[in-house]
Chains A and B, each alone.
Chain A
Amino acid sequence: MNGVAFLWPIARGVVSAVVGLLIGLGIGTGIAALTGNDPAEINITFGYLFGLIGWLLGIGVWDNWVREWIGRERRSFTPEGWRRYFGFSLDHKVIGVQYLVTFVILFLLAGIFALIMRLELADAGDGLIGPDYYNTIMSLHGIIMVAVAVAAIIGGFANFILPLMIGAEDVAFPRLNALSFWIVPPVAVLLILTPLFGGFDSGWTAYPPLSVINADGQLLFLFAFLTFGLSSILGGLNFLTTTICLRAPGMTWGRLPIFVWSVFAAAIISATATQVVAFGLLMVILDRVSFMTFFNEAAGGKPLLYEHVFWFYSHPAVYIMILPGFGLMLEMISHFSRKPLFAYKWVVGSFLFITVLSFLVWAHHLFTSGMEEFLHIPFMAITELISVPTGVVFLAALGTIWKGRLWLVTPMLFALGTIFNFLIGGLTGIFLADVATDIHLQDTYFVVAHFHYTMMGGEVFMIFGAIYYWFPKITGKMYNETLGKIHFTGMFVAYNALFLTMFYVGLQGMNRRVSSYPPELQDGNVLLGILSLILGLAFLPFVYNAVASWIKGSPAPDNPWDATTLEWQTTSPPPEENFPEIPVVTGSPYDYGVPGSKHADVSKTPLSTVQGD
């Protein structure tokens, strides 16, 4: 299949989305006329819901589900080569690449938004874009980066790598997997359209009453978040089921690679906590478009309710981001130290303990919210308790590199850098778990620097580390090591300079989410602007390296790192069924230097049928 025919599913999706949109607008106009409500938001609501249904039917739901329900054969549409990335592919490796490329592009876009914010903040007064656009750009930066942090590892690497690591042919629910990816484009479209609808000025947290009374762009944001949540729940269910049901013979729970454990723990959270924030978002939507008054105090509503509901998801969500970051970090540290992962079972226990604790700490975001004061001490206690299992992760990292044979290739540099970054992220978290210091630091740049140290320093660094680590496996090409090291060095130095300075500026009284500020803070903000520009430039070698190496890099061997885990025991890239035969697992994945131990027996017989390209 050549030419542009491969774009058929997307074209059909767009056309049926437009049809759905028009039907929704018709219904919305009718309802608005009957109820006498403002038609704009009702039209957005029905137009979007029907448009979303149309999009999903067109892109693949019709072919893969509905045809079956009406007694016909499922129909698949499988172009070859790079063209398959533009359709409703059921192959977990294709979906993994779709996720990764989409979210790396979104990451770079939201990074550019950050640079625009810093440009505005170079002036203490109203600068380049003014407060209105600033609020929208700041909110977009926040929500897009949160989406990247939630989905890039689970959607990208877990999709591509996890089935390989456990010796499976695919995930448990391939159709659902494709669906959870193709739900994402409408989310991106909604967010990018928000400026045309007046933007939204309530940040990624969207606290009511503000989020009930502001411009229509807010409604687009709410639907985007809600839709993304659906994708996240489906992804979580899929990886839970895959890990439970599809492990190769001999792949016991005690032999699971630590990355699989970290995704398993994160999937528990994303499959069970996301519904809670969905209810919160739904209540805001209903307050806006119907006659509900969940958050309107004049009609008996309670604004504080939303903050609890929101953080009941959004704090655990931090661990959807950081647990896979830990998993990747420890995975690479073991392979590139040529040593078993230190205290493996304690790390697994810590991941599961963190998963449980993550549901019990949400109100530390609310110390200054006016909630009941008796909640302060218990939430401070449980929050600080998380430092014990987190400490085990540091012990495992240090214990593994101690007396190892450290191979300092780019992915290992990212893993070692992450130890340092997350150390600062974790230690500064104590200042925010402490009620007294949090009373002052809450809503300042100290908080902004802290969560960038955890989520960017802990997770985004590992996303890039993992891109280098698995680039040979995913693309079948080697990346350029020198450019990789330049990227790491630039990113590590600029990132630390930027966010360490941000702690300082926060302590000087800079509050967050502002476009203008007292003049004596200008020097600090200009410095932040310069450092963020350098950080932005540090990604250029990465972009060039990724694109150029993918197109014309030298062919990668099957196992360029001499690593033990299963994904390296098949071809680069792997064939469609992943392994010629289902591998048999016989030992721990990290038994470097353990005589006689072998992770798995993998048949090396080449596949006679389909080979990956």
Chain B
Amino acid sequence: MSKEMVIPAITWILLTAILELVAFLTLGALPSQASEQAKVIDDAFFLLIYLVIPVFTLVVVFLLYSIMKFRVSGRPTVDGPGLKGHLPLTLVWLAVTTVLTGFVFFHPGVTGLLELRAEENKVPDIVIQAEAVRYSWKVMYPQEMVYSKKEIVLPIHMNTQFLVSSKDVLHAFWIPAFRVKIDAVPGQTTHVNATPTKLGSYETDTQFRLQCAELCGLAHSKMFLPVTVVSEEDYREWISLQKPIK
């Protein structure tokens, strides 16, 4: 390693350590994580943050160092060294980026996806049909034969499968607190699972909302339904008050 590399290399290590620490301390500031799926997705997100920081700092440090060290004031009068490339460095760079990409693909890429699929492949405790029509949601509880157009209430710790459909245009089913999303496609029933892990409601935390996330027209912004996660007891009570499906 040439002498000029020492300062940027040390700076890189220091800056990486600082940013990793900042990331570690602030990542908890993400909005409410209220389902098992949210934990898988957030863990993947955090891991990717930790992994991209050294790449980010490497480029930034060498960029800034070069600008400070190699700038000339005014028009350059002599050319730089006629260095056209460096095969070993290029091969090392390719190897490192390939290995990093491969790593990220397997973990959290494939592993995260398989974890989510494993949840989906379990027999769900509760099945809910969410039907979108511009600009409202109708949620049906086929096991209980009731439905609601005002809110969606879920018992905590139950593996819930949402069967999503649309009667007109594309919509998307998204509950930010659960981190899950799937489009509602006319003529198709899509599905997504979420197992709530935290009590909460839209009144105190707007992350608890079923938001349409695919542009569907004029009132797309307002196409959302409050989500409430309650105890099983409260859930039973709420179910008993809902309108029956005819």
Closest-CB distance, B225 to chain A (whole angstroms): 13
Complex Cα–Cα for A377 and B100 (A)? 17
Closest-by-CB residue of B relative to A521 is: B206
Q: Are the CB atoms of A509 and B206 closer together than 8 Å?
A: yes
Q: Are the CB atoms of A403 and B70 closer together than 8 Å?
A: yes
Quick one: which of B105, B179, B211, B219 contacts A511, CB cutoff 8 A? B211
Complex Cα–Cα for A343 and B30 (A)? 41
- In the complex, B122 has a CB within 8 A of chain A: no
Q: Are the CB atoms of A368 and B183 closer together than 8 Å?
A: yes
Q: Are the CB atoms of A443 and B172 closer together than 8 Å?
A: yes
Binds B, one of A263-271, A387-395, A452-460, A599-607: A387-395
- In the complex, B23 has a CB within 8 A of chain A: no
Chain B residues with Cβ under 8 A from A303's Cβ? 170, 185-187
Binds A, one of B13-21, B74-82, B144-152, B233-241: B74-82
Chain B residues with Cβ under 8 A from A207's Cβ? 169-170, 214-215
- The winner among B55, B79, B110 for most chain A CB atoms within 10 A is B79
Q: Are the CB atoms of A518 and B209 closer together than 8 Å?
A: yes
Complex Cα–Cα for A184 and B59 (A)? 39
Binds B, one of A19-27, A468-476, A487-495, A586-594: A586-594
Chain A residues with Cβ under 8 A from B56's Cβ? 423-424, 427
Complex Cα–Cα for A434 and B179 (A)? 14
Closest-by-CB residue of B relative to A398 is: B62
Provided the pairs A392-B94, A515-B221 are in contact, do residues A443 and B4 lie with their beta carbons within 8 angstroms? no
Binds A, one of B85-93, B125-133, B153-161: B85-93
Q: Are the CB atoms of A392 and B93 closer together than 8 Å?
A: yes
Complex Cα–Cα for A436 and B38 (A)? 9
- In the complex, A464 has a CB within 8 A of chain B: no
Which residues, 25 to 71 on A, are CB-close (under 8 Å) to B?
none
Quick one: which of A203, A345, A399, A402 contacts B70, CB cutoff 8 A? A402
Complex Cα–Cα for A339 and B218 (A)? 55
Q: Are the CB atoms of A135 and B218 closer together than 8 Å?
A: yes
Chain B residues with Cβ under 8 A from A594's Cβ? 82, 84
Which residues, 151 to 206 on A, are CB-close (under 8 Å) to B?
201-203
Complex Cα–Cα for A189 and B66 (A)? 47
Q: Are the CB atoms of B179 and A440 closer together than 8 Å?
A: yes
Quick one: which of A369, A402, A509, A518 contacts B66, CB cutoff 8 A? A402
1/0 per residue, CB under 8 A from B, across A292-312: the answer is 000001100111100000000
Complex Cα–Cα for A399 and B83 (A)? 9
1/0 per residue, CB under 8 A from A, across B188-210: the answer is 10100000000000000011010
Complex Cα–Cα for A343 and B89 (A)? 10
Provided the pairs A343-B90, A368-B181 are in contact, do residues A516 and B222 lie with their beta carbons within 8 angstroms? yes
Chain A residues with Cβ under 8 A from B105's Cβ? 380-381, 384
Chain B residues with Cβ under 8 A from A201's Cβ? 215, 217-218
Provided the pairs A406-B70, A592-B82 are in contact, do residues A509 and B207 lie with their beta carbons within 8 angstroms? yes
- In the complex, A501 has a CB within 8 A of chain B: no
- In the complex, A81 has a CB within 8 A of chain B: no
Which residues, 416 to 442 on A, are CB-close (under 8 Å) to B?
416, 419-420, 423-424, 427, 430-431, 433-437, 439-440, 442
Which B residues lie at the A interface, using CB under 8 A?
Answer: 4, 30-31, 38, 40-41, 44-45, 48, 52, 55-56, 59-60, 62-63, 66-67, 70-72, 74-76, 78-86, 89-90, 93-94, 97-98, 100-101, 104-105, 108-110, 112-113, 115-117, 168-170, 172, 174, 176, 179-183, 185-188, 190, 206-207, 209, 211, 213-222
Give me 29 A-to-B residue pairs in the complex whose CB atoms sit less than 8 angstroms apart, sorted by A's number: A338-B76, A338-B80, A339-B79, A339-B80, A339-B82, A370-B183, A381-B105, A381-B109, A395-B89, A398-B63, A399-B83, A399-B89, A402-B70, A403-B70, A405-B72, A406-B70, A406-B76, A416-B63, A423-B59, A424-B56, A431-B45, A436-B41, A437-B41, A439-B181, A442-B181, A509-B31, A513-B215, A519-B206, A592-B82
- Top-8 shortest CB links A-B: A297-B187, A593-B82, A436-B112, A594-B82, A514-B221, A593-B79, A518-B206, A370-B190
